[in-house]
Each structure stands twice: as structure tokens, then as C-alpha cells.
Structure 1
Amino acid sequence: MFSTDIWLRIVCAMQVNAMLFGIGTVTVLSVPALADRAEILIPAVVLASFLLAPIVGGFIAARMRLRNWGRRAWREGDAISG
């Protein structure tokens, strides 16, 4: 049905969506100046998280595939994965 790449992107996008929504909601509700406008900003956070999640999830999913690294780069790692 779906390829492995599509499934990785879907799973990553769902997790990124939850993180973006949580970070945005906590920020809106914890800053008093933003909390006064929560009725406008919370839907904006929801919309922004839905729009940004597939983009960021796509970058993360690409890093999860060994074929995108190559053997030498996979052995060496990078600043994020060690």
C-alpha cells in the first residue's frame, strides 16, 4: 500500500506535530502577554503545527534511512546522532 518512506514520514510528522503543538501551547499559556490572546493564538499554534509537521518530519525521516547516509557517513555519525 504505502512505501516505507511514506510510513516513516507519517510517523515522524505525527511526533513532530505533537512536539510543535506542545511547545507552542506552553509558550502561549505561560507568557502573560500571550495568555491574554490565547483564544486567537491557540488556533494559530494548531494551524502552524499542522503546516510545519510534514516539512520537519520529512527531514527527520530522511535521516532515518541508511541508504541516505552511505556506509562511511553512517559509521562516522554526525553532530546530532553521535
Structure 2
Amino acid sequence: MLRTRTLMAGMLSIPVNAVLFGTGAVVVLSIPQFQPYLEYILPAVIGMAFALTWPVAWKLAPRLRVRNDFYPNLFRKT
């Protein structure tokens, strides 16, 4: 049985990877001095995005959970 944080991090990993890669690709492609080196820099951006995906998703997963102290009136029975 997997922990809730692990499942949430797994579900977050795809959008987190897309955002990290997209941000890196936009930064690399928008700098004209990188044009001659794109064949080396873009694979590095892909690898860096892939390497950073799981730590970022693991850090974000607990923040997505609803807790009673954040929303005290959400679970109150009226």
C-alpha cells in the first residue's frame, strides 16, 4: 500500500515535468547566443527537468492536502 504523499507526488510528476521543461526550453530558445549550441543545451534541459521532477513533486504534494486548521469551517456540521 502506497502512502498518500507518494500517490500525490506521482500524479503531480507529469505536470511538474511539463512546467520545468517548458520553462527551461523557453529560456534556452529565447537567448540568441545559444543558437549554435542548441543540440547540446536542449538535451541538458530535458535531463535537468527529469532529474528535478520528483523532488519538486515530493515537496508540493503535502501542500495540496486540505487540512482542518487551514479551513476550520469546511468540515463543520451545521
TM-score range, shorter chain: 0.7 to 0.9
Match of 2:10 in 1: 10
Instruction: Determine which of 67, 71, 75 is the counterpart of 1:75.
Output: 71
Residue identity opposite 2:4 in structure 1: T
Unmatched runs of 5 consecutive residues or more in structure 2? 73-78
| Paired residues, number | 72
- 1:48 CA displacement: 0.3
Q: Shift of residue 3 of structure 1?
A: 4.0
After superposition, give the CA deviation of every residue in 1:8-48 in whole Å (9 maximum; x if it has no partner): 11111111100010111111111101222111100000100
Matched with 2:52 is 52
**Following the alignment from structure 1 to structure 2, what is the Cα–Cα distance between the partners of residues 27 and 57?**
21
Query: Matched residues, percent identical?
Result: 33
Taking the aligned partners of 2:20 and 2:63, their CA distance within structure 1 comes to 19
What TM-score does the superposition give when structure 1 sets the normalisation length?
0.75
Distance of 2:55 and 2:3 partners within structure 1: 18
Q: Distance in 2 between matches of 1:51 and 1:2?
A: 22
State the one-letter code of the partner of 2:71. R
TM-score by length of 2: 0.78
- What RMSD in Å do the two structures reach over aligned CA positions? 1.8
Distance 2:37 2:9 in 1: 33
For 1:4 and 1:17, the matched residues in 2 are separated by 20
